[in-house]
Structure 1
Amino acid sequence: MPLLRTNTADKFIVDRRKTHRNSDVSRAVKHTRDRLSQRSGSPAFDRELLKLHARAIVTGASAIPLLVLVIAAAGLLGGMGGTILSWALVTVTCYTGIALFARSIDKADTARIELAATKRNFLILHSLSGLCWAYLASLGCGECQVEQFPVIKAVVLLLAMAATAIIASSLRGALVATFAAPVIVYGVVGARYWMPVEATMIGLLAISLPFFAYVAGHLNRSALMLLSFRREKDGLIAELETAKSMSDEARRRAEEANLAKSRFLASMSHELRTPLNAILGFSEVMSNEVLGQIQNTTYKEYARDIHDSGRHLLDLINEILDLSRIEAGRYQLNEEPVSLLDVVEECCHLMELRARNKDLRIVQQFEASLPRLFADERAIRQIALNLISNAVKFTPAGGEIVVKVGWTAGGGQYVSVADDGPGIPPDEIPVVLSAFGQGSIAIKSAEQGTGLGLPIVQGLLAMHGGEFQLNSKLREGTEAIAIFPRGRVMEDMPALPTLPLRAVASGGRRR
């Protein structure tokens, strides 16, 4: 039999086609995005950039002093004497002062940094270091007799410029404040000789300064983007922590509510069943006139109504308890080999009287033989009874109910119950599959019900690893299909060979 497509629905009625957004969360996200959209010029970002600048100087504090020492050692070897040593001492002192000031800013609280004063002090310190490089650019080397000494100075300035562009990129203007004076001094000194080499180096330095300033600007924008990402990460982490705390609180309350519900059901199960049993027993005795005739027929009808209402209430309590145990995962399956054909056939016989009273006909279409299922017989009986009972409730007088049992296309087994009742509108199928849910047509035309039959069927099938399908067309009928997976089907074992009596006896003597 070809299986129809599943119409699944959540236990809780949720229209997933519509987006539901929490207004508080939306406002928080918008506020965070507005805050993160800030760019350079806002005090918060400028302070962060100053912190980045200070951290970069502290991290690379030994780079330029090391270059200065290498230049001083080369100058001593070249015969420049105390001049180069004096320059090296002053330059290292300037960079030491920058590193100490940067360390103090790096350790300070970001919110307490004086923005204008800190930026001004950094630029002053960088300008002082620039004067040291300008002094180097003005030096000559008559004693060392090196013809390419201007080229060497230009290369040293380029190296120092490149290192400063990388280290001081977080502070705008730091590169120009440091190397504007050295480039000008180098140009003035070289213009006195105006040799081709000096002219080339002057042009190279003049081009290199704006180029490295452009590179430093790109690095500055990268640092700004890094700060934006970091702030966004911090904001998202804060929102996640808030959502987690709210989720934990909601989960704690849900657990408390679930525990209270379990305690309530356990208590009310006993408290309600005890008086209900008395009501059912006494009302049955009265309606059957066991202790004597009731002269007033109205009282007799009342006793019968009391018995029917009590029976309905007891069924409702039992179904609520079954559904709560299934949802809580406390429903214990007593699995054993079960014949699906026998159980469904027995359920059809049990419902035969109710169907006959409504002038309904139950048609059984079973496979000739089916292997057993490894399942809970009580659960299978409850599934079949719920499906057939629903069909009896919703089928009008003179209708027909078709009950099928057979193989699925995947090698499993199924139970199908189809009726020619009013059917269910497509938009009401999720309602019907939810707890206590009933369709509008069923409410008007069917008998009184609890609305828990199909959710219990879904839960019991899920515990067996099965699937439930509900297919319906308005005014044409409904088909409910309970599918058990292939893994539940037990294979028939081959029969043991029977030995002749003489062989068995001889085998016994050999022992």
Structure 2
Amino acid sequence: MPQTASANPDKNIVDRTRTRGNRAVARAVRATRARLQTGRFSSAAFNREMMGLHLDAVIRNALGVALAILLAGAVGMALSKDFGLAGWTLMALSLHGLAVLAALRARAHAITEGDVAPLRRRFIVLQGLTGVSWALFTLQDCTSCGPELSDYYQGGALLIGLAASAMGSFLLRPALIATFLPAVAVLILRAVQNQEPGAAALACGIAVALIFLLVMTNRMQQANLHILSIQSEKDDLIAELEVAKSMSDEARRRAEDANLAKSRFLASMSHELRTPLNAILGFSEVMHTEVLGPLENPIYKEYAKDIHRSGQHLLNLINEILDLSRIEAGRYELHEEAVHLLEVVEDCIGMVQLRARGKDLRIREQAEAGMPAVWADEKAIRQVTLNLLSNAVKFTPAGGEIIVKVGWTAGGGQYVSIRDNGPGIPEEEIPVVLSAFGQGSIAIKSAEQGTGLGLPIVQALLAKHGGEFLLRSKLREGTEAIAILPSKRVLQSLPAVRQAKPVERRRRSFA
């Protein structure tokens, strides 16, 4: 419950101090929906995300690239017996370390859209320097290795080193080109100048690898764009759900406040309405029955009768509204006891019998014999039966028939069925008549219009007992209303426990 209600229990109005918060939440919902419809995820946001992924890839592959450089230098020095490759190894490691350090520094801060272009240029240059270092590696001569071993060694080292470097620049295509292009250019130059077929073949292999990596990079960028777009939409949906939940909580709070105000209003007004109504009913009945003497004008007697009838109708309406309000507020307490369903039904039939005879209606009763009592609230069960019987009498035309059945359900419970041969209810109007204040088209046309609270009260009272209410009707054939009490409400008498006869034990003789 809101604090405003608990702090002032006599307050009968709804707290309106949080309406501004409601408007703010509504504006947030509208903004979120507009963002979803227009598509917040732009190309600038995609480039920023891709740059972040590139920096992560450079940092993750730092050790692999360093090991590839060390392996190429160590194998070259082992084959050539010359430590001239140590200088190249140191230079390549320094350039690689410079690229990793730049990635670490860039990742330490949040990347904005304005930082994307400078970072792209910086890492393209750094990857170009890494490509230059591998191009210088192709100029290293290993005369002691032999021409074939030298080609195999350089080709394998280039492919491994460039592949390791490409893993770090896979998400940045210009950097990927800058990594491979210097080595390809140097190999082509060697093949042209020195007529080296091995260098030409190696240049072709690296060029094909570069084309393949570019195609794969393009596909990965499309996949990443799709994934990032879905991620963005998911984040927006989560935000909208959170805002909608806030709206739902606020609406629930306001509904609770309104329901509290309604309950307090009905509770405070019930006494104020019933007190003058009792006086109106009493005095109008005295005037109509002429207890204090005859009325000279017979029209006044009819007026007194109309006043009494209208006051009785208003009192019944107030009682029904209060009953339904207490049930909805969870303040309707059941006073349970052993109740014989058949006896309650017979009493209720006797109450409506006079009205039924006035319309020339026949009420037939069918009941199964030997039905035990049920554990229920007798007043509630009586009200359920009276409401259903009153509806049957009200809507059954003159000369009709009402059949009342009391029996067992298939699950071991008990039921009361009241069936009439009245005009019936259209199938699409059944949910309407089961709702509070709902009335079907036939009830609206009827001269005896009710409040539309009888069936909702029946449903609520049966639900308090754990039971069920069924309404079956066909147009121009009639209506059947069934009130069901569950089997756990039935009080079954247990049969007497039979005592077993004592078993005589035979004595054994021992020799």
Whole-angstrom CA distance in 1 between matches of 2:409 and 2:105: 77
**Contact kept? 1:355, 1:392, Cα under 8 Å:** yes
Paired amino acid for 1:103: L
TM-score normalised according to structure 1 size:
0.85
Query: Whole-Å Cα distance in 2 between the matches of residues 265 and 136 of structure 1?
Result: 93
Q: Secondary structure at the match of 1:374?
A: strand
Q: 2:120 and 2:497 mapped to 1: Cα distance?
A: 96
Mean CA deviation greater in 62-71 or 249-258? 62-71
1:130 aligns with 2:143: no
The alignment partner of 2:333 has SS state of coil
d(CA) in 2 for partners of 1:61 and 1:328?
67
With 48-57 and 108-117 compared, the bigger mean Cα shift is at 108-117
Partner of 1:35: 39
In structure 1, the partner of 2:158 is 157
CA shift, 1:227, in A, is 1.2
Report the AA paired with residue 39 of structure 2: R
Looking at structure 2, the residues matched to 360 and 378 of structure 1 have their Cα atoms a distance apart, in angstroms, of 26
Give the aligned partner of residue 471 of structure 2: 470
Deviation at 1:412, TM superposition (A): 2.4
Equivalent-residue separation in structure 2 for 1:193 and 1:283 (angstroms):
128
Match in the other structure for 1:59: 60
CA deviation after TM superposition for structure 1 residue 33, in Å: 4.6
- Can you list the C-alpha shifts for 1:388-445, whole angstroms capped at 9, x where unaligned? 0001111122211111111223332221111111211222222211111111222222
Question: CA 1:204–1:389 in 2, change beyond 3 Å: closer, same or farther?
Answer: same
- 2:368 is matched with 367
Show the counterpart of 1:6: none
What is the CA–CA distance in structure 2 between the aligned matches of 1:165 and 1:304, rounded to whole Å?
101
CA distance in 1, matches of 2:211, 2:147: 29
Change in CA separation of 1:249 and 1:110 when aligned onto 2, cut-off 3 Å:
farther
SS in 2 for 1:369: coil
1:395 has 2:385 as partner: no
- Asked if structure 1 preserves the Cα contact closer than 8 Å seen for 2:425 and 2:474, the reply is yes
Q: Do 2:69 and 2:92's aligned partners in 1 also have CA atoms closer than 8 Å?
A: yes
- Is the 8 Å Cα contact of residues 424 and 478 (structure 2) preserved in structure 1? yes
Give the whole-Å Cα distance in 2 for the aligned partners of 1:359 and 1:67. 106
Q: State the 1:205 CA deviation.
A: 2.5
| Residue identity in the other structure for 2:438 | G
Cα displacement string for residues 259-313 of structure 1 (whole angstroms, at most 9, x for unaligned residues): 1112111111222222222222232233333333333333332222222222211
Identity %: 55
- 1:26-425 equivalences in 2 (<5 Å): 29=33, 31-35=35-39, 42-78=43-79, 81-142=82-143, 148-189=149-190, 201-425=202-426
Q: Give 1:301's aligned amino acid.
A: E
Q: TM-score, with normalisation over the residues of structure 2?
A: 0.85
Would the alpha carbon gap of residues 191 and 372 (structure 1) be closer, same or farther in structure 2, given more than 3 Å must change?
farther
Contact 1:46 1:115 in 2 (8 A): yes
Hey, what's the Cα distance between the residues in 2 that align with 1:336 and 1:144?
Answer: 107
Give the aligned length.
Answer: 473
Which letter maps to 1:35? G
Identify the range of structure 1 (300-309 vs 236-245) with the bigger mean alpha-carbon deviation.
300-309
Q: Secondary structure at the match of 2:143?
A: coil
Aligned Cα root-mean-square deviation (Å): 2.8
SS of 2:215's equivalent?
A: helix
Counterpart position of 1:426: 427
* Equivalent-residue separation in structure 2 for 1:356 and 1:110 (angstroms): 89
Amino acid at match of 2:214: A
> CA distance change for structure 1 residues 81 and 229 in 2, over 3 Å: closer, same or farther?
farther
Matched residue of 2:324: which SS?
Answer: helix
CA contact (8 A) 1:151 1:198 kept: no
Q: Conserved in 2, the CA contact under 8 Å of 1:76 and 1:84?
A: yes
Secondary structure of 2:375 counterpart: strand
- 1: distance between equivalents of 2:179 and 2:486? 79
Give the Cα–Cα distance (whole angstroms) in 2 for the partners of residues 53 and 33 of structure 1. 30
Aligned equivalents of 2:87, 2:373: Cα separation in 1:
101
Contact 2:187 2:200 in 1 (8 A): no
Question: Is 1:486 paired with 2:487?
Answer: yes
Q: Which moved more, 1:479-488 or 1:200-209?
A: 200-209
1:79 Cα deviation (Å)?
5.2
- Quote the offset at 1:478 in angstroms: 1.2
Corresponding letter in the other structure for 1:161 = L
Distance in 2 separating the partners of 1:333 and 1:145: 104
Report the 3-state secondary structure (helix = DSSP H, G, I; strand = E; otherwise coil) of the residue aligned with 1:113.
helix
* Structure 2 SS opposite 1:148: helix
**Which of 169-178 and 96-105 deviates more?**
96-105
Instruction: Write the deviation string for residues 437-475 of structure 1: whole angstroms up to 9, x where unpaired.
Output: 111222222413111000111112222222222122222
Q: Which has the higher contact order (CA 8 A, sep 6+)?
A: 1
CA distance in 2, matches of 1:110, 1:252: 42
**Secondary structure of 2:416's partner?**
strand
Alpha-carbon shift at residue 230 of structure 1 (Å):
1.6
Aligned match of 1:18? none
